[in-house]
């Protein structure tokens, strides 16, 4: 993983806005050594020497996988992108996150 933190945050913010990453995570998160999974945040492989965060989410039908740093960045960006905490409705409303400059 060689993306700098600032670029990573921007990238994750864009993925959240585009609906590629959910606003919600499941109730439990765990970690295990990477198995060559693709990180859902930065799209890079989680190597065998890295720790991978497994995140089941109601918003997606599969587990999400993250590098540890990407997971933290996702947490930060989720918190920063608004209080959509009960946002199953947000899943179905597309195109609301264009240039929401407030």
Which residues here bind Zn ion, judged by CB under 5 A?
39, 41-42, 67, 70
Closest approach of Zn ion to the CB of residue 19, in Å? 18
Nearer to Zn ion by Cβ, of 39 and 64: the residue is 39
Nearer to Zn ion by Cβ, of 41 and 55: the residue is 41
Nearer to Zn ion by Cβ, of 39 and 90: the residue is 39
- Helices marked H in the chain — which ranges? 5-17, 68-80, 88-92
Q: Residue 50: is it exposed, middle or buried by C-beta count within 10 angstroms (0-12/13-18/19+)?
A: middle
Closest approach of Zn ion to the CB of residue 35, in Å? 14
Dist. CA 11–CA 95, nearest whole Å = 17
3-state secondary structure of 67: strand
Please give the residue whose beta carbon sits closest to Zn ion in the complex. 39
């Amino acid at each position: 993983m060689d993306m700098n933190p600032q670029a990573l945050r921007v990238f994750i913010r864009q993925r959240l806005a585009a609906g590629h990453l959910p606003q919600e995570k499941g109730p439990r998160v765990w970690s295990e050594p990477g198995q060559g999974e693709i990180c859902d945040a930065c799209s890079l492989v989680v190597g065998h020497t890295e720790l991978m965060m497994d995140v089941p989410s109601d918003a997606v039908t599969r587990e999400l996988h993250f590098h540890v740093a990407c997971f933290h960045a996702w947490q930060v960006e989720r918190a920063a992108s608004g209080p959509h905490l009960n946002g199953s409705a947000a899943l179905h409303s597309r195109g609301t996150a264009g240039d929401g400059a407030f």
